[in-house]
């Protein structure tokens, strides 16, 4: 299955596939603690399933965040000075952000917004939504890139502006503590300084609430996680020999020590992808996603190395967001 190297110096789309394959193989060919990185959860089907998750009765984070922004939007805008550039990581279709931007326009009479997202189709939706939903003087700039590359581009284009980097949706929950610490250091290096961070995170809470949010009765989350595995195996070009080969059991574990929900697939029969050196033993399980839950202290630990300090925090019963400032 050798591919010829590209002759014109451009990266071949097959190179991209090979990189993805290597990432999957690294996680699945380990002796123990096998895993598939969470990014493989979001192919087209996965994105649809995630949208269904946000509408589930049991899945509280999505609604809790909207309620929180709703309740505190006035006070939150107090912490975003007039003239600062609001930069959103993973803006998606910007529906949640529209609310915040409206409040900023109402307060300052104007607002400048930059949305960063890897999906260009989301950015098109964001442009439409913001035109329709935000009234008054709003400028919109959209950057198709991953978070850190996007922030570098924003800083290069607006070298002297004060930034307010907004990260909604508890996306940081997918990062391990270590990865999150590195991530905020990368953020800080990309923006250099004059930056505040508005970070929304799910808070640590009782077992039962977490368990039902990630193991819903209708099995939508289960389908979402299974789809991630099918997606990864499709990238590897693996065709299961029998229908039962890939039959799996979905398991949710609440890790008290690391304060995270862990989502696994267990394979009673095991399976192998010999051409990639992957052997899942009968009964072995694969970690598909973590969703970390936070406390004030854990947010501090995660962002302090990057020089961000807590300025203000808002919480409702189950969800929280914080304004963090870098050292000017």
Binding residues (CB under 6 A) for ligand AVJ: these are: 53, 61, 169-171, 173-174, 214, 221, 224, 289, 291
Q: What does the alpha-carbon distance between residue 239 and residue 281 come to, in Å, rounded to a whole number?
A: 18
Q: What does the alpha-carbon distance between residue 221 and residue 250 come to, in Å, rounded to a whole number?
A: 9
> Shortest distance, CB of residue 74 to ligand AVJ, whole angstroms?
25
> Shortest distance, CB of residue 169 to ligand AVJ, whole angstroms?
5
> Shortest distance, CB of residue 201 to ligand AVJ, whole angstroms?
9
Choose among 196, 118, 120, 119: nearest CA to 150. Answer: 118
Q: What does the alpha-carbon distance between residue 301 and residue 243 come to, in Å, rounded to a whole number?
A: 46
Q: C-alpha distances in angstroms, 260 versus 25, 71, 257, 322? A: 25, 27, 8, 19
> Shortest distance, CB of residue 199 to ligand AVJ, whole angstroms?
13
Assess contact for 130 and 98: CB atoms under 8 A.
Answer: yes
- Alpha helix (H) ranges present in 109-241? 120-133, 147-157, 177-191, 207-214, 220-235
**In the numeric block, which tokens belong to residue 71?**
């309740």
Nearer Cβ to ligand AVJ, position 102 or 291? 291
Nearer Cβ to ligand AVJ, position 289 or 326? 289
Nearer Cβ to ligand AVJ, position 224 or 271? 224
Nearer Cβ to ligand AVJ, position 72 or 224? 224
Q: Taking CB positions, which residue lies at the least distance from ligand AVJ?
A: 291
Nearer Cβ to ligand AVJ, position 136 or 219? 219
Assess contact for 226 and 232: CB atoms under 8 A.
Answer: no
Assess contact for 236 and 276: CB atoms under 8 A.
Answer: yes
> Shortest distance, CB of residue 234 to ligand AVJ, whole angstroms?
20
> Shortest distance, CB of residue 184 to ligand AVJ, whole angstroms?
17
Q: Within 13 Å of residue 196, how many CA atoms lie on the same side as its CB?
A: 19
> Shortest distance, CB of residue 202 to ligand AVJ, whole angstroms?
7
The total number of residues shown for the chain amounts to: 328
Nearer Cβ to ligand AVJ, position 222 or 326? 222
Nearer Cβ to ligand AVJ, position 172 or 273? 172
Nearer Cβ to ligand AVJ, position 232 or 278? 232
Nearer Cβ to ligand AVJ, position 134 or 200? 200
Q: Are strands 319-326 and 195-202 parallel, antiparallel or unpaired?
A: antiparallel
List, in order, residues 6 or more apart from 31 with CB less than 8 Å away.
none
> Shortest distance, CB of residue 215 to ligand AVJ, whole angstroms?
10
Q: What does the alpha-carbon distance between residue 172 and residue 169 come to, in Å, rounded to a whole number?
A: 8
**Host H or E run for residue 21:** helix 13-28
> Shortest distance, CB of residue 101 to ligand AVJ, whole angstroms?
21
Choose among 140, 98, 135: nearest CA to 115. Answer: 140
């Amino acid at each position: 299955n050798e591919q010829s190297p590209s002759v014109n110096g451009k990266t071949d789309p097959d190179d991209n596939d090979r990189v993805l394959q290597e990432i999957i193989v690294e996680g699945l060919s380990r002796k123990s603690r096998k895993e598939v990185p969470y990014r493989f959860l979001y192919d087209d089907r996965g994105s649809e399933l995630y949208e269904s998750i946000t509408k589930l009765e049991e899945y509280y984070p999505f609604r809790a965040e909207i309620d929180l922004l709703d309740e505190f939007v006035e006070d939150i805008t107090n912490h975003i000075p007039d003239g600062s550039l609001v930069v959103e990581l993973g803006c998606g279709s910007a529906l949640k952000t529209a609310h915040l931007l409206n409040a900023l326009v109402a307060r300052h009479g104007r607002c400048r917004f930059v949305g960063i997202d890897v999906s260009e189709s989301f950015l098109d939706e964001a442009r439409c939504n913001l035109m329709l939903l935000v009234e008054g003087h709003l400028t919109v700039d959209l950057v198709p890139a991953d978070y850190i590359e996007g922030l570098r581009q924003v800083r290069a284009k607006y070298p002297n502006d004060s930034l307010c980097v907004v990260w909604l949706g508890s996306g940081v929950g997918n990062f391990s503590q270590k990865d999150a610490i590195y991530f905020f250091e990368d953020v800080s290096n990309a923006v250099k300084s004059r930056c505040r961070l508005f970070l929304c995170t799910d808070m640590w809470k009782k077992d039962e609430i977490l368990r039902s949010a990630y193991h819903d009765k209708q099995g939508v989350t289960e389908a979402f996680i299974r789809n991630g595995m099918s997606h990864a195996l499709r990238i590897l070009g693996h065709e299961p020999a029998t229908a039962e080969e890939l039959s799996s059991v979905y398991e949710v574990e609440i890790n008290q020590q690391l304060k995270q929900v862990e989502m696994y697939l267990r394979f009673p029969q095991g399976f192998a992808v010999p051409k990639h050196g992957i052997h899942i033993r009968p009964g072995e399980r694969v970690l598909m996603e973590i969703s970390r839950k936070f406390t004030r202290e854990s947010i501090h630990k995660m962002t302090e190395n990057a020089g961000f300090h807590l300025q203000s925090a808002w919480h409702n019963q189950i969800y929280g967001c914080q304004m963090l400032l870098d050292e000017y």
